[in-house]
Amino acid sequence: MDNVSALKALYAALGGTASDVASTTTIVEVLNAIAVLLGGTGGATLNPDAIANIAAVASSLVPETQNVSVTPSTTKQEITADSGKVLGTVTVKAVTASIDDNITAANIKSGVTILGVDGTYTGE
């Protein structure tokens, strides 16, 4: 998440309406919107200390992204982020015959391939 987006998220977290800052493109524009939201006046000019303080608060409010790798199984899995984090990339590994010990050549009809395993069962 870039700094402008993080500050827009802070603006929303402070009770502002996201659409109010949707067209803002710079850090200063969003910081001024935050200043107005917090009781300032339109066109407020923020000094470097105020900007540093707001940036510190913003960085503490932007959750850490967590990437997850999922191993397929034969049961339902719910993927959630750890507390205080948001999901980034969720990678689901390829399904292979290793998900079930019963996926063997002897248990699959001859001429049929399941998950890369060629069947040898002839039905006798």
Output the six-digit token pair for 113.
């391939």
Q: What was the pLDDT predicted at 31?
A: 81
Residue type, 64: E
- Given a cut of 70, is residue 44 above it in pLDDT? no
- Say whether pTM exceeds 0.85: no
Domain count, the chain: 3
Q: What was the pLDDT predicted at 94?
A: 85
83 or 115: which leads in pLDDT: 115
Q: Are residues 46 and 34 in the same domain?
A: yes
**Mean pLDDT on 7-32:** 86
Q: How many CB atoms lie within 10 A of CB 8?
A: 23
For 1-124, strand residue ranges (E) read 64-70, 85-92, 113-114, 117-118
Q: Are residues 70 and 81 in the same domain?
A: yes
Q: Are residues 72 and 112 in the same domain?
A: no
Q: Are residues 49 and 71 in the same domain?
A: no
Domain that holds residue 37: 3-61
pLDDT above 70 as % of the chain: 85
The pLDDT tens digits for 50-82 are 767 776 776 666 678 889 998 887 788 899 888
- Given a cut of 80, is residue 47 above it in pLDDT? no
Confidence class for position 10, pLDDT limits 50, 70, 90: confident
Q: Are residues 88 and 104 in the same domain?
A: no
Q: Are residues 38 and 13 in the same domain?
A: yes
